[in-house]
Amino acid sequence: MPVFRFRPRRRPRLRSRDLTPDLYLTDGRRLFRVVSRFVNDGSILVVIEDCVTLDARAYAAAELVPMDVRPVRRLKPPRAGETAPPSTAEEKPLQADTPAVA
């Protein structure tokens, strides 16, 4: 009988280009926006803002790795000539719950 090993899904690694202003990060529960980035002698300091509470804090890039922060990837738009997949939900016109009185 073959033995199957469970491999956890590999998450994207945090790179220095992911820490540029106006990009988004997540830890799986919260969404953060990179407000600013400072580089001094090879060390990177970023200010990130929690998108819900709007609290901004400064972190060294090395501090973000143990926090399991990873970049939020944008979906690629369809290429020219390709169409988006059809919607599975049919659009129905809104109807009143009560019958109309004549």
Residue whose structure tokens are 């939900």? 89
List Cα–Cα distances, 48 to 70, 77, 81, in angstroms. Answer: 13, 27, 38
d(CA 74, CA 94): 33
Domains of the chain: 16-71 (2.30.30)
pLDDT for the residue 57: 96
- How confident is the model over 39-98, as pLDDT tens digits? 988 889 999 999 999 999 999 998 998 888 999 887 777 777 766 665 555 555 555 455
The model's pTM: 0.61
